[in-house]
Amino acid sequence: MAYTWMYSNDDSDWSFKVSKKSGGVCAWPKCSSSFGLGAHHCVPRGFMATRPIVENGILLCNKHHTLVENCKGTTKYEQIIGILIGLDVYLALKELAQSSLKTEDIEDNMVISSDVWLE
């Protein structure tokens, strides 16, 4: 399936658009917190191909943001993100990030980390 992505101009614009998309409340199921919110990149923000894509973001309260961050690099992370943005969207974003690594210099597209989410 082909997607038409909504892009942001910069990180601040991305956060604003992710917040607006989520209605200013945490995207976690059955959580309607509007306090301590932060935009989370589903595919890590170090991948320049997907960093500005609004659909790559979810708005989470501190509690759920911490929970998601602590699952990075695991199968549970992919399951959670699949529920929050849809597995098909997540896989398309992940594929876009991976394909950009094949055509561009890795150092320009990825912050080196211990995350193994692309395996």
Q: Report pLDDT for 103.
A: 52
Provide the percentage of residues in the chain whose pLDDT is more than 70.
85
pLDDT at 90 over 70: yes
The whole-model pTM stands at: 0.82
Contact 39, 19 (CB under 8 A): yes
Work out the pLDDT band at 113, boundaries 50, 70, 90: very low
Domain that holds residue 26: 11-107
Q: Largest Cα–Cα distance of the chain, in whole Å?
A: 41
User: Quick check: is 15 in a domain?
Assistant: yes
User: Quick check: is 36 in a domain?
Assistant: yes
Each residue of 15-36: pLDDT tens digit? 999 999 999 999 999 999 999 9
The number of folded domains in the chain is 1
User: Quick check: is 41 in a domain?
Assistant: yes
Report the alpha-carbon distance of residue 31 to residue 25 in Å, rounded.
8
Work out the pLDDT band at 2, boundaries 50, 70, 90: confident
User: Quick check: is 67 in a domain?
Assistant: yes
User: Quick check: is 118 in a domain?
Assistant: no
User: Quick check: is 6 in a domain?
Assistant: no
Higher pLDDT, 111 or 10: 10
Contact 59, 18 (CB under 8 A): yes
Report the alpha-carbon distance of residue 86 to residue 72 in Å, rounded.
17
User: Quick check: is 17 in a domain?
Assistant: yes
User: Quick check: is 72 in a domain?
Assistant: yes
